[in-house]
Amino acid sequence: MMKIANAPCSWGALEFDLEEKSEEIGFEQVLDEIKETGYIGTELGDWGYMPTTPGLLKAELDKRHLELLGAFVPVALAKTDRHEAGVSSALKVAELMFNAGYKNSFIVLADDNGSVPERTKNAGRITPAMGLTEEQWKVYAGGAERIAKAVKDAYGIKTVFHHHCAGYVETPAEIDKLMALTDPKLLGLCLDMGHYAFGGGDPATALKKYGDRIWHVHFKDYSPDAAQASQEANGDYFDAIKRGVFCELGKGAVDFQSIVKLLEDMKYNDWIVVEQDILPGMGNPKICAQANRDYIKSLGL
């Protein structure tokens, strides 16, 4: 049975170093509202957003009857000199989840998104010329495998890679390349429906293509209208978010009915995490979270 979670990014608690950070909603309110809107799990959020002591973290989740299913770990994988710090960061997060009792959780590994100006500026309209060289691909894939192996060896926790707009693995072709260069037993794929669509692909196609390489799923919708408006204004990734490129589920271009059917056919039996990325201070996250949960219920989940 698929289980439905939400994540702190839907409340504006993002991993990026933004001026709006001061407007972030505290973790207690986020966890309360995740529970109140009908979800049964959450991701950890940026390191330090929730308690980093295992007992305190578990206590906060237990009193709301929530599970912890993963944590986002951004690493600039194209740079060899960032790999060591990436391993340390992933191990620190994995240790917290393991010691808090969440041994079936995932490290959700991603690029250091939003840190490369050309990729951030052209999110949703990437060309091959903006991509990695063959040598950089080897470095990138090697770093991802090294982190996944370190986490698995130390704690038995699995790592999934999260493709992401404004990072080096955004387009379907780039995801194909990374999957081809990495060990399918070591590194799974976190398929994010909204990022896949924003990156120029059809998420249903990705589900069929990657099959049991998909260990983790994010439900996010994508508004082509918001993307178009941002492009016409020469906006970057963050401009697109401000315009609502990741809209409420069911209001964008992602065909979630087909996706749910495919997941059922695949016998996917794990977490679906709703993510409606917003910037701190945007909108009313609780109302959106409720609308998204109601929409998923209409799909039979």
Q: Could you state, in chain order, the average pLDDT of each consecutive group of 10 residues for the chain (301 residues)?
A: 95 60 76 98 94 98 98 98 98 98 98 96 97 98 98 98 98 98 98 98 97 97 97 95 94 98 96 86 86 97 96
CATH number of residue 161's parent domain: 3.20.20.150
Query: pLDDT value at position 25?
Result: 83
d(CA 176, CA 168) in angstroms, rounded, equals 12
Domain of 144, in residue numbers: 3-298
Task: Give the chain's end-to-end CA distance (angstroms, integer).
Answer: 9
Query: pLDDT value at position 278?
Result: 75
Query: pLDDT value at position 127?
Result: 96
pTM here is: 0.95
164, amino acid identity? H
Full DSSP string of 234-258 = T--HHHHHHTTSS--TTSSS--HHH
Query: pLDDT value at position 15?
Result: 55
Query: pLDDT value at position 28?
Result: 96
Overall number of domains in the chain: 1
Query: pLDDT value at position 18?
Result: 43
Query: pLDDT value at position 106?
Result: 98
Query: pLDDT value at position 14?
Result: 64
Query: pLDDT value at position 277?
Result: 79
d(CA 166, CA 172) in angstroms, rounded, equals 14
Query: pLDDT value at position 22?
Result: 41
Length in residues, the chain:
301
User: Which phi and psi (to 5°) does residue 275 adopt?
Assistant: -135, 120
